[in-house]
Amino acid sequence: MPAGTTYKVCGCRAPDGRGLLSKCPRLRRKGGSWSPTHGAWYYQFELPPNPDGTRRTPIRRGGFTSQDAAETQITRLHELLAISGDHEDHSRIADLIVTTLKKDKRLPVPEEVRRKIRTGQDLDTALTTGQWLQTWLAGRKGLRHGTIRSYRTHITVHLEPVIGHIRLDRLRVADVQAVFDTIDERNETITRAREAADPGLRAQVKGCRVVGPATMHRIRATLRAALNQAIRERRIDLNVASLIELPSGRRPKALVWTPERVREWRQAREMFIEAKARPLSGAGGTARSGRVKPMDAYVSTPRPSPVMVWTPEQTGIFLNRAARHRLYALYHLIAFRGLRRGEACGLRWADVDLDEGTIRVRWQITQIGGHTEQGRPKSEAGERQVTLDQHTIKQLAAHRARHNQEHLAAGDTWNDTGFVFTREHGEPLAPMGVSEQFLLLAMEAGLPPVRLHDLRHGAATILLRAGHDLKVVQETLGLSSINIASDTYTSVLPDLARQSAEDAAAVILNARTRPDETAAPGRVVRLPEASRL
């Protein structure tokens, strides 16, 4: 069994220049006890022999202020060597002790060594959080490209720059909190620059996006998933990401474009245009005028909520304007039946039955940066059959006729992809282009802006207006949970809210008094007290 000893030495020298070391008379008091102020304590420890049986160089370390401190190091060395009785592990631990002392000037932490022995890790490898996040990401198989892209963005943009250098087993709550503090600081910088009078500052943050609460929750979810995997592999014992509190990431409530909100938005747009058009001081003191493109003002003017919904009348105005466009049936289908953008772009003729009046949603096209990807809907609930109304059936039939005409006109250049909605020569649509065309049509129709996805919100609201419950909304729109329908798609149209108020008032008024059928005309019978409560 390796043994260790302690001893005390000093730096005093004899007249001939040789060091006195442990022979210095000042190391002890007159009574023989050790001097508390002169010299320093050292320890020497004999490590197990090398695998080939040769003797290792003993460990000698010093500078301790007390003998107890030196003996504590010997105790830790015994604890480290006792972690495993396996001869090979014994030798690996001895190598680790020598390497760590040389590199970090300290002994390894026994608990870290136990964890690595237990999980079969290299003892001399200190895995950083950044290394683990990349290892975890590489092991995520079978996920959608968009999901992998989101994980990679969370890791490379937000997590690695702040905590990537920290050892995985030393990651603390404060380290994770620093990630979101950094995001908050960046958000404030972007917001201040956007509001600054200096056009140079505004230009610096052009294209930069503020990270909202919902995205912060997704970033934390990515880190939490990676750390959970580390726990399963017994690399760490605690998921510190689960202990971070973040602002609520609840979905924003959809608001309807009421006449008052439309007026306020148009006034704000005029102010935005006027502010941009004011003369600005350019280089060399010359005056220059800011010119705003109509579409820039249209999409940049703040809205009452991130999610805005048209009234049925406004949706009708849009459809009237879009009726002349070759993709009118696509916008009609989203507005009437609430398909997602990618689901409409990915719809195939094989999944359309106009005789039965149904479509099957089985595919979608998603936009990944400048590229597109075809795949299944994001959830099992997304794969569904949708029943069509007669008007939508007629629009799809008319679209198919036009589609066939385009096929004939294109001749050999036609690309037969099988999609319902395509480009002029049959190629699949890019969802981003469909959204840009939608905004252009909406602006030309003189409507306040909504996202293409908000047509889906409108379809849900109209279902509620027609008297259907949230379960019907959930099934029609392919939502995975009725709670999502409740949280997001319960925008109440003004006339529906007004009618519900009138209906509620009528119940109370009718309960207060009731004409007595046996009494003389005009006589009112007062109800019993319990009935009037």
Do 20 and 72 lie in a common domain? Answer: yes
Do 203 and 91 lie in a common domain? Answer: no
Do 302 and 437 lie in a common domain? Answer: yes
pLDDT at 491: 54
Residue 249 resides in a domain = no
Instruction: Walk along the chain (533 residues) and give the pLDDT tens digit of each residue.
Output: 457 899 999 999 998 989 998 999 999 998 889 999 999 999 999 998 888 888 999 999 999 999 999 999 999 999 998 887 677 777 888 888 888 898 888 998 888 888 777 766 666 667 899 999 999 999 998 887 778 889 999 999 999 999 999 999 889 999 999 999 999 998 888 887 877 767 777 778 777 888 988 899 999 999 999 999 999 988 888 999 999 988 876 767 778 899 999 999 999 999 888 877 665 554 444 444 456 788 888 988 889 988 888 988 999 999 999 999 999 999 999 998 889 899 999 999 999 999 999 999 999 998 876 778 888 887 777 788 999 999 999 999 999 999 999 999 999 999 999 999 999 999 999 999 999 999 999 999 999 999 998 888 778 777 777 777 677 777 777 776 666 556 555 555 555 566 666 776 676 677 665 555 544 555 554 544 444 43
Q: State pTM to two decimals.
A: 0.62
Do 334 and 425 lie in a common domain? Answer: yes
Q: Copy the structure tokens of residue 237.
A: 């014992």
Do 140 and 188 lie in a common domain? Answer: yes
Bridge partners (DSSP) listed for residue 6:
43
Residue 252 resides in a domain = no
pLDDT at 285: 44
Tokens 């190091």 belong to which residue? 73
Q: Where are the alpha helices (DSSP H) in 59-86?
A: 67-81
CA 459 from centre of chain: 27
Q: Copy the structure tokens of residue 277.
A: 């058009």
Residue 145 resides in a domain = yes
Total number of domains constituting the chain:
4
Residue 124 resides in a domain = no
pLDDT at 373: 84
pLDDT at 530: 43
Of 94, 8, 89, 88, the closest CA to residue 57 belongs to: 94
Sheet containing strand 352-353, strands side by side: 352-353, 358-361, 384-387
Helix (H) or strand (E) segment spanning residue 386: strand 384-387
Residue 484 resides in a domain = yes
pLDDT at 481: 62
CB 491 within 8 A of CB 254: yes
| Amino acid residing at 301 | T
- Which of 215, 243, 271 is the endpoint of a domain? 243
Return the CATH number at 218.
1.10.150.130
- Which of 91, 119, 147 is the endpoint of a domain? 119
- Which of 95, 119, 143 is the endpoint of a domain? 119
Q: If you count them, how many residues does the chain have? A: 533
Residues whose CB falls within 8 Å of the CB of residue 448, separated by 6 or more in sequence, listed in order: 257, 261, 262, 265, 266, 303, 308, 310, 314
Instruction: Tell me which residue range forms the domain holding 146.
Output: 129-243
Bridge partners (DSSP) listed for residue 62:
42
Do 340 and 238 lie in a common domain? Answer: no
C-alpha distances in Å from residue 121, one per residue of 32, 101, 117:
50, 20, 6
C-alpha distances in Å from residue 149, one per residue of 129, 143, 275, 433, 526:
19, 10, 38, 21, 70
pLDDT at 505: 67
Do 102 and 78 lie in a common domain? Answer: yes
pLDDT at 272: 83
Return the CATH number at 422.
1.10.443.10
Give the whole-angstrom CA distance, residue 219 versus residue 13.
Answer: 62
Do 322 and 433 lie in a common domain? Answer: yes
CB 37 within 8 A of CB 56: no
CB 458 within 8 A of CB 433: no
CB 300 within 8 A of CB 269: no
pLDDT at 224: 96
Do 281 and 411 lie in a common domain? Answer: yes
Do 201 and 303 lie in a common domain? Answer: no
Q: Kindly report the CA angle at 427 between 424 and 430, in degrees rounded to 5? A: 100
Residue 250 resides in a domain = no
Do 93 and 238 lie in a common domain? Answer: no
Residues whose CB falls within 8 Å of the CB of residue 106, separated by 6 or more in sequence, listed in order: 100
Residue 217 resides in a domain = yes
Bridge partners (DSSP) listed for residue 41:
8, 64
Residue 226 resides in a domain = yes
Give the whole-angstrom CA distance, residue 113 versus residue 86.
Answer: 14
Do 423 and 517 lie in a common domain? Answer: no
